[in-house]
Structure 1
Amino acid sequence: MAGIQLSGLVSGLDTASIIDQLMSIERTPRTKITLDQSATTKRQSLLQDISTKLTALKTANDDLKSSLTWLDTQSVESGDSTKLTITRTGGAPPGGYDVSITQLATAERATYDWQDLAADGPLQILNKDGTPRASIDLKAGATVDDAVAAINASTDTNVYAVNVNGDLVLAAKSTGDGSGFSVTGAGAETERVAGLNAKLTINGATVERQTNTITDALPGVTLTLKGKTSGTNTIGVTVGTPGPDKDAITQKAQSFITAYNALVTATRADLDEKRVPGATTSTDIQRGTLFGDSGLSSMLTSFRSAISAPIAGLTGLTSLADLGISTGAANTGTTVNQDAVDGKLTLDTAKLSAALDSNPLGVRKLLGGLSGTDGFSQAFSAVIAPLQGTGGILDSRITAATKDLSDIKDRLDTFDARMDTKQAMYQKQFTALETALQKSQTVGTSLASYISSMSA
């Protein structure tokens, strides 16, 4: 603070300490404001956490009715995955197929007796028909390792190069009888192994391809050849009938349950945490911020009702419990199942799987995945809608808390400015007091000196 501060030099008083004590008393109301700030910040944070979990629940609920969740799939199996693997890439004709593999596709390979170059020169790689493919410039004295490095560094050669006991060995990057190549400038060719096509039969029909990965022999299926069959042996391939992807649907149901339970856990913890009576610290004032909150209690109640309610207009499978989704038993013998009491969900995967096997369309209708039929997902969306998202109840409460924090900050700024003014006033008053006392002492000293001189 600018200005003269004599700090009791004349009066002998510790004016700085006195001012500090006076200001401490003046600032007492600030503690209440900062406690309000802590409580409001905590309330905002808890509401934001619940809002985030509610958004995750909405996403999981929407996935239950998503058309992507209900895309048909088919099982595909190979009788011997060591020789043949099979992958579904689209809709495939259901049924069984007998596959025999008589030849695997191989890449052309050539070996050259490498001699270190006597002069600069190119190593030319040609296509099977003799047309140029790539030219590798090499310097005089280039070794087989130099050639290997240069060939492998080029993106145009379409061959792999290796040093085998001082010989240059090249192998085509592609397979089949079209993978041939020739080389000039690499020394004498000492061996060549021609590339071969893959050959197999499917239910007696001959198939020949240049690669071991065959995508067009069976519609919607990719065959990967790994080994040859012997004699008249065949490998059985089975393509199942189209149907819902049970694993995907189960995963979506579990994701919904996980998101739901996370929201219930967080909300229930906030509702059950009790306040600290007469709290005087920031930590204590933040406890129980949402204790018994009626809005959040109502949210959990509405969710629990929606979970257990049957879906109007459906027959057979009408509620989530029919799919194995429930809170479970509240009591198991003499033990209370607290998760069930709190309303958390569990999934009986065996029951859901059985329902998908016996009535897949009914499961789809119930969960809301059939266009034109409202199921659970649509009903639950109607419950979530007023709460979640911009303008929803939680968003409005978070916005209100944000405004409260802004107002509290303004109050603190105003209070602190007033305290600065008050402290300056006290310092000015005590400085004036010290100045007056100093003047009084000066006058007294002068008067005493005058009286003394008159007496003399």
Structure 2
Amino acid sequence: MAGIQLSGLVSGIDTQSIIAQLMTIERAPRTKITLDQDATTKRQSLLQDLSTKVTTLKSANDDLKSVLSWLDTQTVETGDATKVTVSRTGGAPPGGYDVAVNQLASAERQTFSFVSPSADGTLDIANADGSARTSVALKAGATVDDAVSAINGSSTSQLYAVNVNGSLVLSAKTTGDTSGFAITGAGVGTQTERVAGQNAKVTINDVAYERQSNTITDALPGLQLTLKGKTAVGSTVGVTVGSPGPDKDAIVTKVKAFVTAYNDVVKTARADLTEKPVINGSTTADVQTGTLFGDSGLNMMLSQFRSTMSAPIAGLTGLTSMADLGVSTGAANTGSTINQDSIDGLLTVDETKLRTALDTNPNGVRALLGGVSGTTGFGQTFASALSNYQGSAGLVQSRILSATSDLSDLATKLTNFDARMDAKQDLLQKQFTAMETALNASQSAGSSLAGLISSDSSN
């Protein structure tokens, strides 16, 4: 601290201890400010966590009512994936198909002995009809590995090359009977083997097809067949195409995801609402306990969510509420047992009931969930309720912003308080220093006076 500090040298009083004790009393309100900061920080953290879960719930609800969930799809199955696999490329005629794989498509393969060139030159690659395709350069003394690297490094060779026991083995990158090629020039020795490429041959419902690739996209509309192996003579592989319709498994998954997200919000809010505060808390742990206990805004949110979940959707017939799809809080009491989850508002899914509704009335399920453009379903109704609490204009975010503002005010309050305390301590220091200085001057004057009196008496 600046200034003279006599610390009771004249008066005999421990002024520094007195100042310290006085400042301890003066600073007592600071603890209240810091505890308010701790409590507000905790409240903000809880609200941010809840905000994240509410946003997840919104995403799940958006998926629930998305028209994209109801785009037609079809199941495609193969009786033997080691022989034929199948996938959809578009709308396909439903039904069954018998597929016999008589021959797989293969690529042309040729093997040559390799002769190291005595001078720089080129290895020339031609098409099956003799027309030039490309050339790769080889240096004098090049090895078979050098030739392999040069061919594989060429973007126009259309060949794979490999060194097999010193021989140059080449395979076409495409399959079929037009995959042939020829090589001449530097490094090329005697051809020791040639295996011609061949087309795939397949019969589908007694109709024969021949294609250059084992991937066939133009035999059955909307389907891609990939041939994997030959079938035994006289045998076939069954390929089955289902009727067009929504992906029921995906819809069930989205309903379950919504229920999970909804329950996460309810559990989090319930935990915040029921955690009781510590009366007259004096520590950070105390004041951060129960900061949202009995919060009216969160109670209102849970109440509105629950009433929206259970209410029938106006304008619909047949399937009119989520309970009709097996989504509900269940019974609050089962005999003598209390179902606390039901009381708390947690949802359950009766998957059997949901799948039955999808099988017997898919259009009704779609309308109820909100997947029909221009029709208000549960998804739209719940989105309206959710908008009061989610997003920048929602209650939860506004409460977070309010906490942020409160923390800023408390930080300013604490800064100002500390400045006042510093000024107060400085003032006390100056006052006690002035007192000690005055006492010192008084003692000096007294000593001088006593000296004069003693001198006069002697005279």
Partner amino acid, structure 2, of 1:436: A
Partner amino acid, structure 2, of 1:423: Q
2:276 aligns with: 274
2:46 aligns with: 46
Cα distance between partner residues in 2 of 1:213 and 1:24: 85
Alignment of 1:112-261 (within 5 A): 112-184=112-184, 185=186, 186-261=188-263
Number of residue equivalences: 456
Shift of 1:190: 1.4
Alignment of 1:351-430 (within 5 A): 351-430=353-432
Identity among equivalent pairs (%)? 67
Cα distance between partner residues in 2 of 1:332 and 1:188: 87
Partner amino acid, structure 2, of 1:141: G
Cα distance between partner residues in 2 of 1:187 and 1:371: 71
2:95 aligns with: 95
Establish whether residue 20 from structure 1 lines up as the match of residue 20 from structure 2: yes
Cα distance between partner residues in 1 of 2:98 and 2:137: 51
Cα distance between partner residues in 1 of 2:118 and 2:445: 116
Cα distance between partner residues in 2 of 1:137 and 1:447: 119
Q: Deviations over 1:338-375 (max 9, x none)?
A: 22221111112222111111111111111111123221
Greater shift, 47-56 or 434-443, is seen at 434-443
Cα distance between partner residues in 1 of 2:452 and 2:172: 122
Cα distance between partner residues in 2 of 1:332 and 1:183: 83
Greater shift, 323-332 or 92-101, is seen at 323-332
Shift of 1:26: 0.7
Shift of 1:5: 3.0
Cα distance between partner residues in 1 of 2:5 and 2:398: 51
Shift of 1:223: 0.6
Q: Matched residue of 1:315: which SS?
A: coil
Greater shift, 257-266 or 426-435, is seen at 426-435
Cα distance between partner residues in 1 of 2:452 and 2:60: 98
Q: Deviations over 1:389-416 (max 9, x none)?
A: 2222222222222222222222112111
Cα distance between partner residues in 2 of 1:48 and 1:9: 57
Cα distance between partner residues in 2 of 1:130 and 1:329: 82
**TM-score, with length taken from structure 1:** 0.93
Alignment of 1:75-94 (within 5 A): 75-94=75-94
Cα distance between partner residues in 2 of 1:172 and 1:391: 63
Q: Deviations over 1:204-253 (max 9, x none)?
A: 22222221112222121111100112222222211111111011101110
Instruction: Report the RMSD for the aligned CA atoms in angstroms.
Output: 2.2
Q: Deviations over 1:61-85 (max 9, x none)?
A: 1211111111111111112211001
Cα distance between partner residues in 1 of 2:143 and 2:12: 98
Shift of 1:449: 6.6
Cα distance between partner residues in 1 of 2:211 and 2:451: 127
Cα distance between partner residues in 2 of 1:414 and 1:449: 52
Shift of 1:446: 5.7
Unaligned 5+ residue runs, structure 2?
none
Kindly tell me: are residues 83 and 429 of structure 1, through their superposed partners in 2, closer, same or farther at Cα, counting changes over 3 Å?
same
Q: Deviations over 1:129-164 (max 9, x none)?
A: 444444333333322223223333333332222111
Shift of 1:10: 4.5
Shift of 1:94: 1.1
Cα distance between partner residues in 2 of 1:445 and 1:155: 111
Q: Matched residue of 2:240: which SS?
A: strand
Shift of 1:106: 0.8
Establish whether residue 325 from structure 1 lines up as the match of residue 336 from structure 2: no
Kindly tell me: are residues 438 and 86 of structure 1, through their superposed partners in 2, closer, same or farther at Cα, counting changes over 3 Å?
same
Shift of 1:334: 4.5
Cα distance between partner residues in 1 of 2:451 and 2:168: 120
Cα distance between partner residues in 2 of 1:424 and 1:416: 12
Greater shift, 15-24 or 217-226, is seen at 15-24
Cα distance between partner residues in 1 of 2:430 and 2:122: 95
Cα distance between partner residues in 2 of 1:420 and 1:220: 82
Partner amino acid, structure 2, of 1:55: T
Q: Matched residue of 2:290: which SS?
A: coil
Kindly tell me: are residues 320 and 442 of structure 1, through their superposed partners in 2, closer, same or farther at Cα, counting changes over 3 Å?
same
Q: Matched residue of 1:45: which SS?
A: helix
Partner amino acid, structure 2, of 1:95: G
Greater shift, 320-329 or 235-244, is seen at 320-329
Shift of 1:318: 1.8
**TM-score, with length taken from structure 2:** 0.93
Unaligned 5+ residue runs, structure 1?
none
Cα distance between partner residues in 1 of 2:292 and 2:171: 71
Alignment of 1:328-343 (within 5 A): 328-332=330-334, 334-343=336-345
Q: Matched residue of 2:67: which SS?
A: coil
1:286 aligns with: 288
Cα distance between partner residues in 1 of 2:428 and 2:291: 39
Cα distance between partner residues in 2 of 1:205 and 1:291: 74
Shift of 1:386: 1.9
Kindly tell me: are residues 27 and 99 of structure 1, through their superposed partners in 2, closer, same or farther at Cα, counting changes over 3 Å?
same
